[in-house]
Every structure is written in C-alpha cells, then in structure tokens.
Structure 1
Amino acid sequence: MSRLLHFPPDMYELAPDEVALFGHDPDIKRCVEHFKAAMGHDEWIKRRDITAKRFYQSLIGEQPDPTGAGKFYDGKDLFAWYLFLGEAFNDHPQNYEVVFGCRVMPVFSAVGRNIENLQKVVGYEERLNRLIFKERGQPNGGLFEFLVAAAYVREGYQVSFHPEEPGRGRTHDLDVNRSGRRFAIECKRMESGQYHENERKWMRSLWKPASDFLVRTSESFCFDLTFKVEIDTIPKRFLFDLASDFVAKKIDNQIIHGDLAYGTIRRLDLSPLKAALSESSWMHPGPKYNNFLLGSYRRYESLLLAHKIRFAENPHFIDEVDQAVALRWVSGSDMAIGKKARDVMSKLVEANKQLPEDAVGIVHIGLDALGGDAVEQRRFDKIRTSVANFDTDGKPLRYVFCHYFSPEASIEEAWAIDETTSYHKASTARLPLHNLFLITPGEEPMRSGVHWDGAK
C-alpha cells in the first residue's frame, strides 16, 4: 500500500519557525488566490490532493508516467498542476518543483500584476471559467490570451473577448478599440514540437541499456555528448558500446570524437554532493543538486539521470547519494536544428482564417525558446522570412507579433525569464502597442536584439 495515500496535516503549509525557501512573491500570490476563488474551495482541495499525490508517487517511482516522458503531472489537468506550483511557491515551498515551475511562475506573476486590468475586459469571467474547467488539460492558450488582453488594457484600449458564434466555426479571440482604432486579435500559443518530444523519447531508449550496465558496476559516471546526427539515426548499441568500452579500459576520463558524437566520458566524483548533503537535504530535481553532482550548471539542460539515493522525510528532498549515472546530451546536427526550428506558418494560416474581413487584424503568437541559441537563431530567421512573405488571402491582417519566452531555474534564482518580441507590419500606421512585452514589467530596462545573441 502506498505511504502517500494520506498526507501529513501540515502538507500544504509551513511550520511556524520555517523559513520560506523562495521568499514571497505577492504577484504570484494574487494570481493564485484569484484563480482559486474562481475555481471554488472544495473543487480546489480535491484537485490539489490528486495533483500532489501524482507528483509524489512519480518522484518515488510508485506511479511512473505512462507516456514514458517522465512527467510528474496528469496532462488531463495541467491547470491544477500549474496552480499547485503557484500555491506551493509562496505557501508550501517544500512541494514546489523548480524545473517546471520556472515556466509557470513568470506567467502567474504577470497575471497577478494585471488582475485589475483583466477584470476590465468584457467576458473575462466567462473565459476564466472555461480555462479552469473545460480547458484544464490545455491552459497555455487561455493564459496567453490573458497576457495579450492585459497588454492592450494597459495602453488604454477597450478590450472584450469575442463571443463564440455557434455554427460559424472558430472566430478570433479579442476585439479592441481606442480612439477610433479598431482591431480584431487572434492569439496562438505554440507548444513544444513533436520532433523535440520524439527525440527525447528515442534518447531514453538509446541510453537505457548503457545506463543499466553502468548501474550494475556500482560506480558513478557522467557522459557529456553532443550528437552530430539526428538522434533517431544513431545505432541502438552506440551508447552501450561506448559505456562497456570505457569501463573495460579502467580509466578516469576519455574524449569522444567520431562521426556520430563528440564530448567526454568521465568517472563522477560524488564528494562535493556528499559534502553538501552532510549539511542539509537538497531538493531534487533542481539545478543546485545537478550543479553539485555534475560540477557545473547549464541553462538548457538535457539530462538523463539514474542514482541510488536515500530520500529525506519529504521525498522531494535527498539525504544521501551512493551512486549516480548521468547523460548530458545535446542534439547538434544541422538537420535536427532545422527541424526543431519550427516555423509558425501553420499557426499563422489558422489564425488568419479566424480573423474577420471587416476589421484590421492582429495576430500574437507565443512560443517557448528552449532549444539553445543555434536553434532559436535559425527559427527566428525562418519565422521572419515566412511572416514577411505570408499571403493573407485578402484578409486585412496588418500586424504579426511573435513572443519568445525563455524561462530558467538557475542556481541563483527560483525562476527567471528572458523575453524577446519580434513583429512584422504591413501598414504605415504606428504599432498598436508601445510596450511589446507581455511578461516583463514595463519598468524593466530593455535592449534591442534577441536574448539568445549573447549580448549583455
């Protein structure tokens, strides 16, 4: 029987003398309380318990993700997972998951700053209700609409959610007007690509035989490899053969440079992590734990890890580690970069069809920039070319905004985000927005360029 069927009475609160791990973010708190009030107390208590049990049972291996992707949450209620993370950040941080949470907290913080603005939007309450209940498995689109709507309210527009029209098919999301300038707006939120998900799945299958073999040695290792070909073209025994060859040589490290991959293999020194764990438990998964274990922190981390550990009383934390076998990997082939640099064309075509013919159209597209600098530069160039050459088929689409979000859980901060906005306009009129950022507060300093170009 699972030991997690019944949570302790203080599961969702801090002890009286306990220091909050991440401090307090009032904007996130306002957003969470706003969403909880809209959901209803009893509904939230029920969905919170289900979410927490799934999270902890996944952590200790009692309920592996049936998709094989290693997710800690039920994709059928992704909104409850988001809200659980938001509440945990301030109120019970011992349950907060930093790696996924860094993608949610910037959005919640922005919504929290803009609740009064959103409440000015006609139809907001109905749209929020749909997000919480009907769209619980796909909340990213609705949250993105809230960010866009708030941006126009901040600049003095009258904003309303366009009512659904049964029998007419899908229509645009927002109607905005100010001083005679009237726009119809469609919002599209791009999710992570199927190619990216397939690549991760294939890598897990490639690594498992090698990982199982290395675990049986009772020693610790780190493979740090960049692949020069597409992941699904790598022979199934490639990583296993590398592992068995390295162990047989009884050496401490080796440089790999071949037709398929380059990088290093090394025996892993656990002493820095053991020393840290001797002083306190460490949250896992988390960038600080990885930094102690692997000796460095990486922003775009693709990591597969098997380790022999002893959980703390709260299994979200680790007390001891006896062995670790890690694969840090990068998909660096030109072909893979090109395929992951997904174009927005399909979303733009879909959005254009939903725009009316009697109002100037605007499309806002939100996408995560999580693929590394090379991928994002390639994708940026493709998007810029495609949007500039897009045929609107007679629709008065005049402005297209692409919002790139790059969240991060670093060893210094609980969460951070870089935001880049590019636009294309087919009009001599001024842009409808002065501040083009949806998440970054307007008082923050801005610079020209893109966040992945490495400029300070």
Structure 2
Amino acid sequence: MALLNFPDNMFQILPGEPRLYGEYPEIRAGVQYFRNFMETGEWERRRDKTARRFYQSLVGERSKDKLGRFYSPNELFDWYLFLAEAINDHPQNYEVSYGSRVVPVFAAIGRNIHLVSSIEGFEERARRIVTSGQSQPNGGLFELLVALAYARDGARVRFRPEQPGKRKTYDLDVEANGQSWAVECKRLEPGTYVENERAHKRTLWSAASRALAATGRSYYANVDFLTEVTDLSENHLTNHITDFLRSGELNQIRHDQHIRMVVGELDLDGIQSVLDTDVILFPGPVYNKLLTGKYYRYDDLNIAHKVRFAENPHYIDALSQAIVLRSRSLSEKAIEKKARHIRRKLSEACSQLPTDRPGVIHVGLEALGHDAIEVRRHEKIVDNIQRFDPKEKPLAYVFTHYFSPEASPEDAWAIDETFDWRRLRMGPMPLSQTSLLLPSDAIGREGSHWES
C-alpha cells in the first residue's frame, strides 16, 4: 500500500469480508455522536491525516518521535475517533493496544446516548473536545462519563458554565434524593515523569540494540530497573551488552546496583512457523507472544526487527531478525513519583469546590505498568487520599476510578474498572452505580485488576 495513495477501500469492509473484531453498536453510536459536530467532509479529511501518520510510524518514516507515538499529540482526539470507528467499520486499521484504552469510553457514551439530552451543557462540552480541546481530550471525556453516571442513577445533572479569564469553578451541579452536590472531576494523566522515563529508556536501549543487531542474530533482554531510569548514563545498558557479546556465551545474567538483566539469543522458530502460512498483526499481543514466548498484561517491550510487510503494512509477512527489550521500572522513587501527584490534583479539585454545599471529587486514572508496580502505586494513592485534608471545604466524598484496559491475544479489547471511595462527612451516598464504563447489568467481581 503506497502511503500517499491509499486504496479506495481504505476505510471500508469489502462485501463478504469478515468483521475481525465483531460489531459493537454502542461504539458506533458514540462515534457518530462526536462526528455530528463536524462539517460535511471534515472527518474524512481528519481521518485521512490520522491514518497517514499511523502508517508512516509503522514503516519507520517518523522515527524522529522519541516516544514512538502513532499519532500527533495536537490531534489526539482524532486518533481516538479513528480507532473507535475502525473497530467496527475498517478493522484492518484498528490498533489493538491503544484501541483498548479508547473504545470502552465510546461504548459507554454510546450506550447511554439517550441520557445526553437530559444533561444541561453536555453538548457544549462534547463539542469542545472535537474542536479546541482535541489535544487534551481525556479530561473532557472523563467529565462526560461522570455526568452520564449520575444521570443514569436518576439524578438531575448540569454542567457549570465555564468563564474564561475568571477563577475556575467545579464541573457539575447534581441534585439527587433531595440533596444538592457540587462535583469536580480530575483525570490524572501519566505526567511528564512517565514520558521522560519512556524517552530515556528508548535512548538507553538504542545503542545497545544496535550492538546486538550488528551480529545478525536475534536477541532478547529482560531488564528490571532498580533505580530511576533517568539517573542512568546513556551507555549503561550498552556497556553490559558489549561485555555479554565479548563473553561469547549464549545467555547471561547480569546485574549491578542499578539493573538486573537476563540477556540471550532469541529463538524465532515459533513465530516463523506461523509466518510460513499467515501474516501477523503488528503491533499487537499475538505478535508479542509469538516473538517472546509469553504474554503479560501491560508488557513493556521495545522491539527492533527486520521484517517484510504485507500489502497492508499493519501486518507482517516475514521476519529475519529481532532484538527485544522487556523491561520493568521497579525503583521505589519511580513508583513514588508516579503516585504522588494525586495530592496536587486533590488540592486543585478541592479549591474549586464551593463552601455552601457538600462536594464530591471524582478522580480517574489509568494503570501504567506491570501488576506488581500497580499494587504499590495503588497503595500509595489510597494512602494519599486517606490523609487528604479538605480544610474549610465541605468535601463529602472522594471517588477514585482506576481503569485497566487490556488487549490480549484472545480479545481485541477489555477493561477492568476498580472503584474506591472515601467518605469525609456523614450523609447519603450521592452515586449508587459507581462504574463509569461498564454496563449497568455487567457482572463485576471483588478486588482489583491485578487480583485473580
């Protein structure tokens, strides 16, 4: 497929072609709701631009992006809408790993679309996401999900009008069971620390992977970072890899006070046997499992490989060499820094609440890494909430929504939503249906996503 010459059926399913991931009417309804805010032909132009960025990244024509993103940060919502549309209407373009974070949101909005007209100000917030807010859609989408949850519960919900240039106020007025509530929503982003960690890890691995690739053989390295990744010199991993190659051994265990590493030759027989008769979606959990022999939730892989793309470069047709880094950031300081900024967000949210009625804060955050890391991060977040002092504000509840999306070798998307709450004042619970993403009749389970 020529990148500047997309085929006529680029965004279609051919007659008789199977739907790779099934059909989801609720996702389609959510997609159509946001598309309705665009002029005729506008989405087609934005979609084409998004697809070109994605495929250029896949084939290595956008290697200058240090974070390896498939999308433009300034057009993030277009990437979201592209994925949510693709899973139903052009699944050959659906990126399963990122899509699992996006499609549950569109599904929840589409599932509750009948409630939108009852929420004053909802349409204005949604329109802003599509237009001026598309570089930072997560906060706005989270606000919409919270508003729908209260409306689904039977409450009267109204978005507070925003007043540019004036002091920020809270998000929602909610009336439920004879009680008025002031509701503020905060969606926690990974933050600059996480982005800097990812970028520095890519730098650390870049020279090391080139040294391995120069041998013409395939290798893997499993690395646990015991200190902060950003504290390591750029040649730290390269020095270990160089010593390993000089040893002439097939595999080694290497460690120092900063890392633990297992490095060795990678057997490609398993993935080659599949490629002999089929193509494999890349990136994706099936490819990762076939390449490394195992699948992990939130697997953190950096892959350099020599491949032949299929006609659609979203699929790989042949593989001749692969260099794979699987890593975890286990530094206590790193975990603390990834968890601590919830205190600042709570303070910001509380400052926006009024003093004349009980307040509710909803905090949304997404899992960032390996299950063992998430357990520690969750403990620290809960501790921060438990110790939070609202001072003079009549804050009644803090609700925490912990999202754990997943694309596994078996499923194109799945989501766990853990819910925690803290009551600071006696009184009725403002919200009985606590899930923002799952259907009302979904069968839940006790515990968090890392608990079997």
Task: Report the TM-score when normalising by structure 1.
Answer: 0.95
Match of 2:230 in 1: 232
Distance 2:47 2:290 in 1: 32
Residue 420 of structure 1 corresponds to which residue in structure 2?
418
The Cα of 1:305 is off from its aligned counterpart by 1.0
| Equivalent residue in structure 1 for 2:89, among 76, 81, 91 | 91
Structure-2 residue corresponding to 1:34: 33
Spell out, residue by residue over 1:367-397, the C-alpha distance to the aligned partner (whole angstroms, 9 max, x if none): 0122333333333333333323323231221
Q: Tell me how far apart the structure 2 counterparts of residues 194 and 342 of structure 1 sit (CA, whole Å).
A: 13
Q: Please, which of 274, 292, 308 is the counterpart of residue 306 of structure 2?
A: 308
1:441 has 2:436 as partner: no
Greater mean alpha carbon deviation, residues 383-392 or residues 261-270: 383-392
Tell me how far 1:99 sits from its aligned partner.
Answer: 1.1
- Are the equivalent residues in 2 in contact too, given 1:338–1:375 (CA < 8 A)? no
Match of 2:363 in 1: 365
Deviation, structure 1 residue 132: 0.6
Q: Which amino acid aligns with 1:53?
A: R
Are residues 1:211 and 2:214 paired?
Answer: no
Distance in 1, matches of 2:222 and 2:382, equals 34
Residue 63 (structure 1) aligned with residue 77 (structure 2): no
Instruction: State the Cα distance separating 1:71 from its structure 2 match.
Output: 0.3
Provide the residue aligned with 2:72 in structure 1: 74
Q: Which amino acid aligns with 2:12?
A: E
RMSD, aligned α-carbons: 1.7
Partner of 1:293: 291
8 Å contact kept, 1:368–1:406: yes
SS at match of 1:309: strand
Once the 2 structures are TM-superposed, how far is the Cα of residue 98 of structure 1 from its aligned partner? 0.8
Work out which of the residue numbers 295, 314, 319 in structure 1 matches 2:317.
Answer: 319
Residue 319 of structure 1: CA displacement? 0.4
- If the length of structure 2 is used for normalisation, what is the TM-score? 0.96
Q: Which residue of 2 aligns with 1:11?
A: 10
Return the match for 2:105 from 100, 104, 107.
Answer: 107
Distance in structure 1 (CA, Å) of the matches to 2:247 and 2:176:
72
- Counterparts of 1:144-223 in structure 2, within 5 Å, are 144-166=142-164, 168-223=166-221
Q: 1:389 to 1:226 in 2, by over 3 A?
A: closer
**1:89 is matched by which residue type in structure 2?**
I
Say if 1:65 and 1:72, in contact at 8 Å, map to a contact too. no
Q: Deviations over 1:95-150 (max 9, x none)?
A: 01111111101111111111111221111111111111010111101110111011
Q: Deviations over 1:299-318 (max 9, x none)?
A: 12111111000011111111
**2:346 aligned to which of 331, 348, 367:** 348
Shift of 1:236: 3.1
**Corresponding position of 2:20:** 21
- For 2:221 and 2:386, the matched residues in 1 are separated by 43
State the AA in 1 paired with 2:188: M
Mean Cα displacement is larger for which, 376-385 or 329-338? 376-385
Q: What is the CA–CA distance in structure 2 between the aligned matches of 1:291 and 1:38, rounded to whole Å?
A: 40
Cα distance between partner residues in 2 of 1:208 and 1:63:
16
Partner of 2:247: 249
Query: Deviation of residue 77 (structure 1)?
Result: 1.0
SS of 1:441's equivalent? coil
Separation in 1, partners of 2:181, 2:68? 42
- Which moved further from structure 2: 235-244 or 400-409? 235-244
Instruction: Please name the residue that 1:386 is paired with.
Output: 384
Aligned-partner SS, 2:417: strand
CA contact (8 A) 1:345 1:386 kept: yes
Q: Structure 2 counterpart of 1:28, which letter?
A: I
Q: Distance in 2 between matches of 1:374 and 1:221?
A: 26
Distance 1:214 1:380 in 2: 37
AA partner of residue 435 (structure 2): F
SS at match of 1:436: coil
- Of residues 236-245 and 205-214 in structure 1, the stretch that sits farther from structure 2 once superposed is 236-245
Are the equivalent residues in 2 in contact too, given 1:88–1:94 (CA < 8 A)?
Answer: yes
CA contact (8 A) 2:186 2:349 kept: yes
How far is 1:341 from its partner? 2.4
Shift of 1:436: 1.2
- Matched-pair contact (CA < 8 Å) for 1:337–1:374: no
SS at match of 1:364: strand
Amino acid at match of 1:122: E
Q: Partner residue of 1:45? A: 44
Following superposition, the deviation at residue 237 of structure 1 comes to 2.6
Q: Give, in angstroms, the shift of residue 181 of structure 1.
A: 0.8
2:38 is matched by which residue type in structure 1?
Answer: M
Match in the other structure for 2:332: 334
Task: Tell whether the 8 Å contact from 2:115 to 2:148 is kept in structure 1 after alignment.
Answer: yes
Tell whether the 8 Å contact from 1:121 to 1:158 is kept in structure 2 after alignment.
yes
1:167 positional shift: 5.1
Deviates more, 1:34-43 or 1:373-382: 373-382
Percentage of matched positions with identical amino acids? 48
C-alpha distance in structure 2 between counterparts of 1:179 and 1:211, whole Å: 61
2: CA distance, partners of 1:284 / 1:76: 24
Structure 1 partner of 2:275: 277
1:392-449 superposed Cα distances (whole Å, 9 cap, x missing partner): 2312211111110011111110011111111111122121111211112222223333
Equivalence for 1:116:
114
Question: Structure 1 unaligned runs (5+)?
Answer: none
The one-letter amino acid paired with 2:4 is L
Tell me, yes or no, if the aligned pair for 1:341 and 1:375 is still in contact at 8 Å: no
CA distance in 2, matches of 1:356, 1:274: 62
Q: How much has 1:166 moved relative to structure 2? A: 4.8
Structure 1 counterpart of 2:22, which letter? G
Q: AA paired with 2:357?
A: A
Where 1:34 maps in the other structure, the secondary structure is helix
Instruction: Write the distance in 2 (CA, Å) between the matches of 1:32 and 1:259.
Output: 49
Question: Could you tell which deviates more after superposition, 425-434 or 255-264?
Answer: 255-264
In structure 2, distance between residues paired with 1:364 and 1:446: 20
